[in-house]
Copies of this chain bind each other. A is one copy, B any other.
Amino acid sequence: MIVGTEWLVEATGCNPTHLRDESLLRGIFERVTSDLGLKAISDVWHTFPGEAGVTGMVALTESHLTCHTYPEHKIATFNLYCCRTRPEWEWESNLRSILGASAVSVTKIERGASNPKSKIQNPKSRSVGGDA
């Protein structure tokens, strides 16, 4: 029984300054939720001290959206979990544009199945290695 779809997004080679800009990251969340017609219930944002990154989480009526950023590694990761069918968001072009990412990979996973299927959507990426 599939109860939802989760997109796991890895953006690498990002501008480190952008990865510490909470308002910029909030703006990404607003675009995702607006573009996909999602409804926020409540959110949590935390900017870690010093040169560290930002954590953002929003509970949606359709499940959740999260991000964690690692300015020291120029990496941001996102999770979008939707319990009902939604169109694809243009993660690659949007994160290249907004965060200056040099590469973006998107892995799509069906949730609820005892043997979840995953699929990397970026055609330049290799398959997920199943080795259990």
Binding site for B on A (CB under 8 A): 1, 3-4, 6, 8, 10, 12, 41-44, 46, 48, 55, 57, 59, 61, 63-64, 66, 68, 70, 73, 75, 77, 79, 81, 83, 103, 105, 107, 109, 111-123, 125-132
A118 B128 Cβ-Cβ under 8 A: yes
* Cβ contacts under 8 Å, A8 to chain B: 6, 109, 111, 116
Bound-state CA distance A66–B58 (Å) is 11
> Nearest-CB distance from A55 to chain B (Å)?
5
Nearest chain B residue, comparing its CB with the CB of A126: B115
> Nearest-CB distance from A106 to chain B (Å)?
10
Q: A1-B12, A42-B46, A114-B103 are in contact. Are A121 and B132 (CB under 8 A)?
A: yes
A115 B105 Cβ-Cβ under 8 A: yes
Q: A114-B12, A114-B105 are in contact. Are A127 and B130 (CB under 8 A)?
A: yes
